[in-house]
Structure 1
Amino acid sequence: MTDNPAEIVEEVGHPPRRAPSRWRRFAVVSAVIGALFGVPWWTLVVAGDWPTPVTAAATLLFASALVALPVLMFTGHGKHRDLPSAIGDVLLGVIWVLFVWSVLGNITRSLLIGLGVEEPLRSRLIAIAVIVVATVLLGWGHHEAMRIPRVRRVSVRMPRLGPGLDGLRVAIITDTHYGPIDRSRWSAAMVDKVNELDADIVCHVGDIADGTVEMRREQAAPLAAITAATRTYVTGNHEYFSEAQEWLDYLESIGWSSLHNRHVTVERGGDRLVVAGIDDATAAGSGVSGHGQDLAAALDGADDGAPILLLAHQPKQIRHAVAAGVDLQISGHTHGGQIWPFNFLVRLEQPVVHGLSSHGDRTQLYTSRGTGYWGPPFRIFAPSEITLLTLSTA
C-alpha cells in the first residue's frame, strides 16, 4: 500500500501527470531544431531560386543533416560512443553558425533592396556571403578550440590577505571537457604551459571530462604532472552525467586535493589562506548519494580570520559565497559563450559570462572562459584561457 494518492491513480491505468511535460519538451526541441535547419535552408537554398538540380541536392543535404543530428546525439552522447558524438558535435556547431549568419544575412536584405539589387541576385549574394563568412569562422573557430590556450594574467586585490601571502599566484584551468576527440597531446602541452607559470596553487574548477574515468583516463593523465605545491579540484555539472565520485577519487589518486565540500589551508610567511571547494549546483539533483553544494561544510573548522578563496564551478553560486563572506570565488562553466552570440543566452542564467566582478561588500568573482571546449570543436569570439591570478594586499 501507499500513502500517496497519485501513485494509486497511476496504478489503475490513468496516464502519468508528467507525460504532458515530456510532450512539451519534445515540441520545444523539435521547434528549435526545425529553426536551426529551416532558416539556413531557406536563406541558402530556397530564396536564391537556384537551378532545380542545385535546389534538390541542397535540400536533400539539409534534410539528411536534420535527421542525422538527433540520431548522432542519441547514439553518441546518449550511449557514450565517441565517433557519432564527434560527428554530431561538429554538425551542431556548423548548423549553429549557419543559422546565426543566415539571420544576420537576412537583416541586410532591406539594405540591398534600398540599393536597388533585384531578385534573385539579392538572395544569391546573401547566400554566398553567409557561406563565405561561416566557412571562415568555422575554420578559425576550430583552430581556436584546438590550440593551447593563451595565458590571461589578472591582478586581484584582497584586502584581508596577510603580507606573507602578498603576490600569491593562482593558476586556473577549467572546463577541459576531455571527450570524443582525443586530446592527450593537447592535455600534456597545456600542463607544460601551466607549469611554466610557477604558480603556488593550481585549481581545476570542474567539467574535467565528458565520460567516465575509464574512457578519459589517457587524456586526463597529464594532470598528474602539475608541479604546484597545492593542486585543487571541484566537480562541474558534467561530472554528474557520468561518474562524479570516481573523478574525485581519480584526482586524489594523482596527487590533487578534491574539494568535495571541504577546504585546505595554504600558509606562507605566517599568514593563512583558506582554499575551499563546493560541489556543482546540479549535484543535489543528480541522484548521486552524498553530493550537493554545502558551503557551511566546506568551511567547517576553517580559520575564522583567514581570507577565503572558493572554488565553485558555476558563477551563479556566488550568492552563497557572498552570504558566507568569501573573499574570492573562481568559476568556469560559461565558456565565455564559446560560439558567438551564445554568450547572450548564457547571461540569462549566469550573473557573469567572464572576467573579474564584485559582489556585495567583500566578495569578488573571477569567471574563466574555460581551458577546453564542450561539444562542437569551435570557439568563435570566445577564446580559451589559462588564467594566472596574482593576489595582492593593495
Structure 2
Amino acid sequence: MTTEAVPAPRRRSLLRPLTFGLTLTAVLALLFGVPWWSLVVSGNAWPTPVVAVGTVLFAGAAVAFPVLMVFGHARRNDLAARIGDTMLGAIWILFVWALAGDVLRIVLLASGVDDPVRSRVTAAFTAVVAVGIGLWGYREAMRIPRVRRVTVTIPRLGAGLDGLRVVLLTDTHYGPIDRVRWSRGVTEAVNALDPDIVAHTGDIADGTVAQRTAQAAPLADVRARYARVYVTGNHEYFGEAEGWLSHMQTLGWEPLHNRHVVVTRGGDSLVVAGVDDRTAAGTGLPGHRADHEAALAGADPTLPILLLAHQPKQIDAAVTHGVDLQLSGHTHGGQIWPFHWLVRLDQPVVQGLTRHGARTQLFTSRGTGFWGPPFRVFAPSEITELTLRAA
C-alpha cells in the first residue's frame, strides 16, 4: 500500500505545471493566432514573402511575450516590463477588433463579396481600427484624469457635515513607465478641488518604495482640510506593503491599516475607517488581513462610517458591520474594452455608485492610473469628487 501511494503526489505535482503550460499556450495561440489569421492568412492571397514575414512577426511576438513578462515583472526589469505590457495591450486590442472584423467578413460574404477582396477589406478594417483605437487608448491612459463628480446622500450624516467633499484616488500604479510629471499633474488637479478629505484606496505602485520614490513624491503635496487617508491594495502585497504604509506616513498621509480616524465639522462627526486588501491574509505578513472589527474598534456606533477598502468584493463585510459608504477601486472599469465583462465575473461591481443592503452604499472608481498596458479603451481614468449630503 505504501509503494502504491507514493506516486500520486508526484503525478499531481507534475500535472499542475503541465496544466498551466497548456493553458498559457492555448491563450497565446488565441491572442496571437486570431489576428495572424485575419491579417496574414484567411483568404487574403497576399504574396508569399508577405505571408512569411507576417507569420514570423506574429510567431516571434508570441514567443517573446511571456519571456518579457517574466523578466519584467518577476525579475523587476522595467524595460522588459514596458515592452511586455505594451505588447499585451496591443495584442488584446488587435484580437478584439480581429473578431469584430470577422463579423464584417460574414456581412460581406452574405452580400456576395468574394475573396480575396472580402478578406482584404476585413484585414484593412481590423488594422485601421486597431491602430486608431490603440493610439487613442494610449492617450487616454497617459493623460491627467478628468474629474468625476458624484453626490452621495447618507441618511445618518449630521447637518454639520452636509456638503463634505471627499476626493478619491486609487490604482495610481506607479510603475515601469516613469510618470513623475503625470503624478504632479494629478496632485495639482486634486488641490484645485480644495477637498476636505483625500482618500487613496490602494495599488499605489508596482514595485518597491525605492523603485517608485520619485513617482510617489508629489503625493506629499496633496492638500486636504481634515484628512489624507490611505489603505493597501493587492499590488502592495506583490512588493512591500509595510514599506508603502511607512512611506505614505512619511509623505504625511494617514495609513488606515485596520484602523480609523474621526473627522468632525460643525459639531457632527464621521468615522473614516480602512481595512487591508482582501488578499493580505494570504501573504503571511503578520497582522495583515482585512479586519473590520479592528478597524472600527472604539468607534461610536451612532456615527456614520466611511470605509476605504480596495476591492468592491469586500462590500459584504461592510454591510455586516453597518458601513454607510465604502470607497473602492481595483477594477479599473475594465481598462481595455471589453475586459470589463471578465472583471464582472470576479467583482460585484465594475464602476459607479451602487446600494447593498438597507444602509450601505458602494462607490467603485475606474482608477486614477492604469496597470500594465498603457491603454484605456472605453474605461476612462478618473479623479473622483464625492460630495456627501445629509438626508
TM-score by length of 1: 0.96
Residue 158 of structure 2 is aligned to residue 162 of structure 1: yes
Any conservation in 2 of the 1:205–1:313 contact (CA below 8 Å)? Answer: yes
Aligned-residue offset at 1:106: 0.6
Q: Percent of aligned positions with the same letter in both sequences? A: 61
1:90 equivalent in structure 2: 86
Question: Which one of the candidate residues 30, 44, 49 is aligned to 2:25?
Answer: 30
Any conservation in 2 of the 1:231–1:257 contact (CA below 8 Å)? Answer: yes
Local SS of the residue matching 1:379: coil
2:259 equivalent in structure 1: 262
Question: Which one of the candidate residues 376, 379, 385 is aligned to 1:379?
Answer: 376
Q: In 2, distance between residues paired with 1:107 and 1:13?
A: 47
Amino acid in structure 2 at the alignment position of 1:42: W
2:124 equivalent in structure 1: 128
1:46 equivalent in structure 2: 41
Aligned-residue offset at 1:19: 3.3
Local SS of the residue matching 2:223: coil
Question: Which one of the candidate residues 333, 340, 343 is aligned to 1:343?
Answer: 340
Kindly tell me: are residues 13 and 384 of structure 1, through their superposed partners in 2, closer, same or farther at Cα, counting changes over 3 Å? closer
Aligned-residue offset at 1:12: 9.4
Which stretch of the first structure deviates more once superposed, 179-188 or 43-52? 43-52
Q: In 1, distance between residues paired with 2:67 and 2:4?
A: 35
Q: Where do residues 222-241 of structure 1 align in structure 2 (5 Å cutoff)?
A: 222-228=218-224, 229-241=226-238
Deviation string for 1:29-78 (max 9, x for gaps)? 22111100010000110112211011001111101101110010011111
Kindly tell me: are residues 302 and 213 of structure 1, through their superposed partners in 2, closer, same or farther at Cα, counting changes over 3 Å? same
Q: In 2, distance between residues paired with 1:189 and 1:9?
A: 65
For structure 2, the residue ranges without an aligned partner over 5 or more in a row are none
Q: In 2, distance between residues paired with 1:106 and 1:11?
A: 51
Residue 10 of structure 2 is aligned to residue 15 of structure 1: yes
Any conservation in 2 of the 1:160–1:306 contact (CA below 8 Å)? Answer: yes
Residue 298 of structure 2 is aligned to residue 318 of structure 1: no
1:4 equivalent in structure 2: none
2:387 equivalent in structure 1: 390
Backbone CA RMSD of aligned residues: 1.5
Kindly tell me: are residues 391 and 43 of structure 1, through their superposed partners in 2, closer, same or farther at Cα, counting changes over 3 Å? same
Q: In 1, distance between residues paired with 2:274 and 2:308?
A: 5
Any conservation in 2 of the 1:171–1:199 contact (CA below 8 Å)? Answer: yes
Q: In 2, distance between residues paired with 1:370 and 1:380?
A: 13
Q: In 1, distance between residues paired with 2:23 and 2:232?
A: 30
Any conservation in 2 of the 1:156–1:389 contact (CA below 8 Å)? Answer: yes
Number of residue pairs the alignment of both structures matches: 387
1:276 equivalent in structure 2: 273
Q: In 2, distance between residues paired with 1:371 and 1:32?
A: 29
Kindly tell me: are residues 21 and 14 of structure 1, through their superposed partners in 2, closer, same or farther at Cα, counting changes over 3 Å? closer
Question: Which one of the candidate residues 169, 192, 195 is aligned to 2:191?
Answer: 195
Aligned-residue offset at 1:161: 0.2
Local SS of the residue matching 2:245: helix
Q: Where do residues 176-191 of structure 1 align in structure 2 (5 Å cutoff)?
A: 176-191=172-187
Q: In 2, distance between residues paired with 1:114 and 1:26?
A: 40
1:360 equivalent in structure 2: 357
Question: Which one of the candidate residues 121, 141, 145 is aligned to 1:145?
Answer: 141
Q: In 2, distance between residues paired with 1:110 and 1:95?
A: 23
Aligned-residue offset at 1:88: 0.4
Amino acid in structure 1 at the alignment position of 2:115: E
Amino acid in structure 1 at the alignment position of 2:19: R
Amino acid in structure 2 at the alignment position of 1:67: V
Aligned-residue offset at 1:21: 2.4
Local SS of the residue matching 1:137: helix
Which stretch of the first structure deviates more once superposed, 308-317 or 107-116? 107-116
1:56 equivalent in structure 2: 52
Q: In 2, distance between residues paired with 1:29 and 1:207?
A: 26
Residue 73 of structure 2 is aligned to residue 77 of structure 1: yes
